[in-house]
Amino acid sequence: MCSTSKNGTEHRAKSVQGNWMIPFERNEAFVGREGILHLLLDRIPPSTSNDACQRTVIEGLGGVGKTQIALEAAFRLRDTDSSCSVFWVPAVDATTFENSYHDIGRLLGVTRIDEDRTDVKTLVKAALSHEDAGRMKGSALLTTRTREVTGRFDVHPAGVIKMAKMSREEATEMLPARLTEGQMRDVASTDGPLDFLDNLPLAIRQASAYMLKTGMLAAAYLKHCRSSDARLVKLLSRDFEDRGRYDAIKNPVATTWLISFEHVSRDSPQAIKYLQFMCFLVQRDIPMSLLPSAEDELEADEAVGILEALEDRPQGTEMSGLAAVDDMVRCFESFA
C-alpha cells in the first residue's frame, strides 16, 4: 500500500518513509527476467490506478522463480518510491498467513493486536483504512501454481503474468553466479547440464548448490544425471540451503514438483490418471486419443487444462497432443 498524508506537516514528515515488511534479503545473484519485471513495475505501484486496488498474479509451476521475481520487484519498487509501504504475506498455510497479519499489526502499532480472540485481519484492515494511514490506494501481487487462485481472486487477464523456464541466456548467466572460478574453467561444459535441467531456475539453483558443496564439475554432474532415472531422482531430491525461500518449504526440485502434483490430485483425479499413463510414454507426444477415458468430456477437458498449466506452452496455441513433462513425470512415478 502506498500512502500520502492528508493531515499536517508533522504527520507528512513521519509518512515519507513507507513501512517495509519483507521476510527475505535481496537476492544478489538474481539475473534475467527483465521483461517480466518491466511488466510488474508498470502494474504494481498503487499510483498506476486511480480507481481500484489492482490485482496482479504471477502464475507458474513450482520452481520457475515466482517468489524470486516478486522479491526483486518489491526491492525495485522501494528503490523508486520509498514512501510506498510494502507488506509480504506468505500463504504457505493458515498459520503463516495469520502470523503475517499479526506482524503487520505490530508494525503499524495497532492496539489489541496480541489479545486473545482478536480478529487480527479486521484490525489491520481498519488501521490501513483509517484516514491517518493516508490515501486509500493499494495494489496486491500474488504468486500461485494454479489457475484456481487466479479465478478465485477474479484477476483480469491483463493482470495475469505466466512464468515459464528461463531463456538459455538467462540460465547461462545464473549457473556461473553460484560456482567457483575453477568450476567454470570450461564454460562450454555448462550447456549440457542446462539442457538437462531445461533452464528451470530452481533446478539450476539446486544443481549449483550441490556442485559447490561437492566441488563437482558440470560435466560430472551431467554424467550422474544421465546415468539412471533413480540417480536423477536422488539428485533432484537433495535439500539445500536457500535464504530466498520459506523455512517451512523444502527446497528440492522433486519435492516442489510433488507439491504441484498433490494440488493436481486434489483438483482433478482424472488429471492424475492421465499423468500416471504418461509415465509409460514419457518423452513422447501423446495423442489425446490414447489417454484413458473420462466420465464425460467436461472432466477430460478440465484435466487436460490442468496438465497444460504444468507446461511451458505459450498461451493461445493449439494443442494436437499432450507434450510429455519428462523429468517431472519420472519424479512423480518414482514417488507415487
Number of CB atoms found within 10 A of residue 277's CB? 15
Query: Cβ contacts of residue 205 below 8 Å, gap of 6+?
Result: 174, 178, 240, 242
What pLDDT was estimated at residue 278? 66
108: Cβ–Cβ under 8 A, 6 or more apart, which residues?
A: 19, 124, 127, 128, 133
- pLDDT attached to residue 303: 75
pLDDT given at position 187: 62
The Cα 208–Cα 195 span in angstroms is: 14
Nearest CA to 142 out of 59, 64, 84 is that of 59
Is 322 within 8 Å of 278 (Cβ atoms)?
A: yes
Cα separation, 74 vs 1, in Å, equals 12
Contacts of 60 (CB under 8 A, 6+ apart): 66, 145, 162, 163, 164
Sign of CA dihedral 155, 270, 319, 163: positive
Measured distance CA(228)–CA(180) in Å, rounded: 27
CA dist 223 and 324 (Å) reads 23
- Per-residue pLDDT 10s for the chain (336 aa) are 444 434 333 333 344 688 999 989 998 888 889 999 999 999 999 888 777 788 999 998 778 889 999 999 999 999 999 888 999 999 888 888 999 999 999 998 998 888 888 889 999 988 888 766 666 688 999 998 878 788 888 888 889 999 888 888 898 888 877 777 777 666 667 778 888 787 888 888 888 888 888 888 888 888 887 877 677 777 777 766 656 555 555 555 555 555 566 666 677 777 767 766 666 555 555 566 666 677 777 777 777 776 666 554 444 444 333 333 455 555 554 444
* Beta pairing class for 54-59 and 139-144: parallel
Residue 20: what pLDDT? 93
Question: What is the spatial distance between Cα 283 and Cα 281, in angstroms, rounded to a whole number?
Answer: 6
pLDDT score for 230: 72
According to DSSP H, which parts of the chain are helical?
Answer: 9-15, 34-43, 66-80, 94-108, 120-129, 147-152, 168-174, 191-196, 201-214, 218-227, 229-236, 253-267, 269-278, 297-308, 326-335
**DSSP notation for 203-249:** HHHHHHHHHHHHT--HHHHHHHHHH-HHHHHHHHT-----TTS-TTS
The CA R_g of the chain, rounded to the nearest whole Å, is 22
Beta pairing class for 20-21 and 86-87:
parallel
pLDDT given at position 245: 58
Q: What pLDDT is stored for residue 235 in this prediction?
A: 75
What's the pLDDT score for residue 143? 92
pLDDT at 335: 45
pLDDT at 35 (0 to 100): 92
Judge residue 104's burial from the number of C-beta atoms within 10 Å of its C-beta, 0-12 exposed, 13-18 middle, 19 or more buried: buried
In this prediction, residue 257 carries a pLDDT of: 56
pLDDT of residue 276: 64
Residues whose CB falls within 8 Å of the CB of residue 218, separated by 6 or more in sequence, listed in order? 175, 183, 186, 189, 190, 192, 193, 211
